Chain A
């Protein structure tokens, strides 16, 4: 049956594809890119220009967000498909190259032409098979991503040149106008949550993220005295000088500066044009100051952005794709890039464009780039960020001293790198595993054989039932069967960063690691949190939903209006409302704290900065997102309850509570049970809310539930085998829950039988 349906699907798909495809016999090149809005326009223009010159070619550009591009490209490349070109910053290149999903561009960029590019614009990595040879993995078309100081000239006439001046100016510009103890204007803001924004402080105090001289593979160098000094300086800015808000993420810093409530901001080149366009703040860009203690400049990380070629792209498609790359990195296109976007070009000749002399922002950008440090192209960098983040946040939360934070960053980063590079050796021999599997299937077959025979006998007399059920059941299984088994096989495999395409089945090690992880199963571990998360959410969804349905199910005026307004949390996309809730939980400016203070006189709660509070914030948000759905179901269920029952109850002088308890609830049960069961399963697996409200598990990775933990441990550390094992374990937990819950609640039975 499943084979049949798969074939049918394939046939229908072909029919539809043939029917829909336009008559376009041009060679199509697809680019997945991470360009920002203004950059997309220029890219579209360059594509149009190229297509006009090459009538036989069609170039299709598709924007993908950072994570989407990374995971999507990995999946597509593994399936033997995907775009010919990927465009983005250089930080993922080592990963793609190690996985073997991008090609060496050497043949398309002859040695003689390489000097036309600025140092660092072409990214090389040691070849996978022969470490003495170098592969060209990316041709850059621009530099950027560097942080600099942006200041509001209305408040800061001259930018600071040293950190002492920075502190002095910031202190002068931090103002509490109405004397309520809260600053109405801050001296200096930046994104506290991302360690990337701490790098200039680190380099200014003489440190670097990796040990120097850099080895291959690099080792983290986070426990240096320079790091402790930099962290101490950052802490003092907030706690001693009080020039920055207590909590500040990217969006808050951005909004404060845009509305003139922050005198200076540390932000990257992508943000500057927005600031310069706001007339009220008169923004200007300056080079980051020199640290007095070391006399060294604060140096931001700099990275090229550019094109890489999919390993699956061959023949004419590869040649045409690389010809397009040659076009966008040519002199004319590069000058257009500088003039239009004010970005720093990859081609040497474009640096001589007159616009550099005319534009002070471009000049500042160039100066900052020249004292920046090239971002290392190493997969380990991701582990460094992940290692830095929790301790950095703990430091800012006041829970950790600078040197202790630096030490913990180092051990965490080392632990992540170990996990990332862990090689699994085949444990139980594969034949034994196969034999066990076969044995299990055989036992199942023998055990269920009578049922199977009964099923065959049952097919004819019960054909109406099977006919009614089959279409839905077949469709559901057709979609899930392959992913289900592929996940099962992957969970027994060593699929990881270094064994991405050439993974093999190694046995049960992943399961052993999952089951022995104290972070998961401890009393305060992720699993317990997931249980609390699920139970509290579902309980609140159901009780609020039923409460509202009961309130609506009576002689109420404006019933239709109420009903409509109450489903709105369900109707608006959760992606934006979850982010709105994050804003509402802000310590200083969030609506929740302001209302708590104004109405109840409570002290502000540090919702997003304290582990338990952040978890509560996630739960509150998810409760809000979920009750309308339960309300709708309860409303529908109540329509099926015969009014006569209530009339009879009133004659018997039953109280309202008794009527609810003995009539409404029991008759709602069959309708609510599926929603509760599935609601529990969905809540258990709900990644979005935790991810958006607590910004991926912050603070200190303390708000994770199982699914966000899997997401983080798999996608950040490329441990696909481990992730598959953990998802299988989660699947088994949910299966056990459903079995018990459905058995207990008699959900498969009918009320009338």
Chain B
């Protein structure tokens, strides 16, 4: 498919402008991480400060339990992603393909769980966690993160299934496939971009959350990354160098996950390749 040159130029112009806008503030974070002496602000626009140092990065690995936090976060986020994808792909399918009593009401109801400001739920949430004996456990965190991510994931999967013509499954079933078989072999592969978004979203929910984590986790050895990073912040005496360095490092796994998944986001089976 050939495009006129002008269109290609416009594409690149738009993309370049937004890449610049996306990167500049993050380069500022890099700049903070390279500054000595805990300076959040700078009076010039230089990205690499004149007195730059990688001391903050070194300190993260040598003096702070950064790797422990990283491992904890990877475990929690990984498990939440798996559960989230499994539960959302099935529930989304039910909401998309079946017409059952209470379908609309339930779909709306799971949305309502997102409608309360999280800070207001702090108190009852803590009481719940304490009563269920989930203080200081991974399970406590995972349940809350999965439940937080699910409403969006279920809706998202439902939206993706909606774009797949039911005739494809019907054809498979005529060919002798069971309902579950048609779901696994026909629908799921076509919904790959949805699964990728669901996975990415579940991962990010668990990866960046800290309000609930601060309530659940009572041992520094069990901290997740956001909790660890927050401990560099103190009123009026934050360790900005460490804070910025850790923030940059924290985003690398996210980028890696995205890199691994984006293959499917773009080159997933498209309907165009399936002959109806």
Contact = CB atoms under 8 A, between A and B. Distances in A.
Given A476-B110, A577-B29, A687-B119, A642 B236 contact: no
A706 to B, nearest CB: 8
A731 B244 CA distance: 35
B156 interface: yes
B101 A458 contact: yes
A742 interface: yes
A638 to B, nearest CB: 8
B236 A270 contact: yes
B114 A76 contact: no
A727 interface: yes
Given A271-B237, A750-B162, 19 more contacts: A14-B133, A60-B219, A79-B127, A255-B41, A278-B37, A458-B101, A468-B91, A480-B113, A480-B147, A486-B123, A487-B116, A568-B23, A579-B40, A624-B25, A639-B268, A640-B190, A681-B111, A687-B117, A742-B108
A253 to B, nearest CB: 9
A677 interface: yes
A751 interface: yes
Which are the 9 A-B pairs with shortest beta-carbon distances? A674-B155, A465-B98, A636-B193, A468-B94, A472-B91, A483-B124, A486-B124, A643-B272, A255-B41
Contacts of B42: 255, 259, 583, 589
Contacts of B140: 13
A671 to B, nearest CB: 5
B237 A632 contact: no
A707 B117 CA distance: 7
Contacts of A673: 159
A464 B126 CA distance: 35
A580 B32 contact: yes
B53 interface: no
A341 interface: no
Interface stretch (A133-141, A221-229, A299-307, A544-552): A544-552
B164 A555 contact: no
Nearest to A581: B25
Contacts of A707: 117, 119
Contact of A572 (B11, B37, B132, B247): B247
A278 B39 CA distance: 12
21 contacts: A34-B234, A36-B234, A65-B233, A66-B235, A75-B126, A79-B131, A455-B102, A477-B110, A479-B144, A552-B15, A554-B7, A580-B32, A589-B44, A637-B193, A685-B115, A685-B116, A685-B118, A687-B117, A710-B120, A730-B115, A735-B115
Give the size range of B's interface with the partner.
Answer: 35 or more
A432 interface: no
Contacts of B160: 636-637, 640, 670-671
Interface string B46-71: 00000000000000000000000000
Given A567-B255, A571-B255, A589-B43, A636 B194 contact: yes
A10 B108 contact: no
B100 A466 contact: yes
A570 interface: yes
Nearest to B127: A79
A364 interface: no
Contacts of B171: none
A565 interface: yes
Contacts of B132: 6, 9-10, 13
Given A34-B234, A468-B90, A473-B106, A731 B247 contact: no
A632 B197 contact: yes
Most A CB within 10 A of own CB, among B128, B148, B243: B128
Interface in A396-455: 451, 454-455
A7 B107 CA distance: 25
Given A548-B18, A581-B25, A639 B265 contact: yes
B215 A635 contact: no
A210 interface: no
Given A471-B91, A639-B266, A738-B111, A17 B159 contact: no
Contact of A577 (B21, B26, B45, B109): B26
B96 to A, nearest CB: 6
A421 to B, nearest CB: 21
Contacts of B144: 479
A690 to B, nearest CB: 12
A108 interface: no
Contacts of B118: 685, 687
Interface string B1-41: 11100011011101100110111111011001000011111
Nearest to B200: A632
Contacts of A122: none
A641 B271 contact: yes
Contacts of B190: 640
B50 to A, nearest CB: 10
A573 interface: yes
B229 to A, nearest CB: 7
Contacts of A352: none
Contacts of B232: 37
Contacts of A573: 208, 226, 229, 247, 250-251
Given A569-B25, A748-B107, A476 B113 contact: yes
A734 B165 CA distance: 32
Contact of A274 (B37, B136, B250): B37
A25 to B, nearest CB: 17
Contact of A576 (B97, B164, B244): B244
Given A569-B26, A571-B255, A632 B265 contact: yes
Interface in B214-229: 214-215, 218-220, 226, 229
A576 B148 CA distance: 23
A360 interface: no
Contacts of B23: 565, 568
A455 B262 contact: no
Contact of A671 (B19, B147, B163, B220): B163
Contacts of B113: 476-477, 479-480
A544 B14 CA distance: 10
Given A572-B248, A576-B29, A678-B111, A642 B87 contact: no
A566 B18 contact: yes
A196 to B, nearest CB: 10
A358 B192 CA distance: 70
Interface in A715-753: 715, 720, 723-724, 727, 730-731, 734-735, 738-739, 742, 748, 750-753
Nearest to A711: B119
A14 B254 CA distance: 32
A475 B143 contact: yes
B40 A555 contact: no
A270 B111 contact: no
Contacts of A521: none
A71 B212 CA distance: 12
A255 B237 contact: no
Nearest to B13: A551
B196 interface: yes
A723 B120 contact: yes
Interface stretch (A154-162, A198-206, A287-295, A556-564): A556-564
A72 interface: yes
Given A586-B41, A685-B117, A750 B96 contact: yes
Nearest to A748: B104
A112 interface: no
Contacts of B119: 687, 707, 710-711, 715
A37 B234 contact: yes
B163 A738 contact: no
Interface string A57-87: 0001011111010011011101111000000
B121 interface: yes
A476 B147 contact: yes
Nearest to A567: B258
Contacts of A6: 132
Nearest to B214: A68
A594 B18 contact: no
Contacts of A34: 234-235
Nearest to A486: B124
A483 B125 contact: yes
